[in-house]
Amino acid sequence: MAQIHLEIVTPDRKVLSQPVDYVGAPGIEGEFGIMANHVPFLSALGIGNLYYKENGKYYYVFVAGGFAEVNNNKVTILAEVAERAAEIDVSRARIAKERAEERLRIQKEEMDFARARAALQRSLARMRCRSSAETAGTCTM
Instruction: Enumerate binding residues for ligand ATP (CB under 6 A).
Output: 64, 81, 83, 87-89, 92-93, 96, 119, 122, 126
Is the CB of 4 or the CB of 133 nearer to ligand ATP? 133
Return the closest-CA partner of residue 24 out of 56, 55, 68, 64.
68
Is the CB of 23 or the CB of 93 nearer to ligand ATP? 93
Question: Closest-CB residue for ligand ATP?
Answer: 89
Q: Are 4 and 74 in contact (CB under 8 A)?
A: yes
Is the CB of 51 or the CB of 70 nearer to ligand ATP? 51
86: burial class by Cβ within 10 Å (0-12, 13-18, 19+)? Answer: middle
At its nearest, how many Å lie between ligand ATP and the CB of residue 112?
13
At its nearest, how many Å lie between ligand ATP and the CB of residue 11?
9
Look up residue 30 and give its DSSP letter.
E
- What gap in Å lies between CA 26 and CA 5, rounded to an integer? 18
Is the CB of 77 or the CB of 83 nearer to ligand ATP? 83
At its nearest, how many Å lie between ligand ATP and the CB of residue 25?
17
Phi-psi region of 48 (alpha: psi -120 to 50; beta: other; left: phi over 0): left
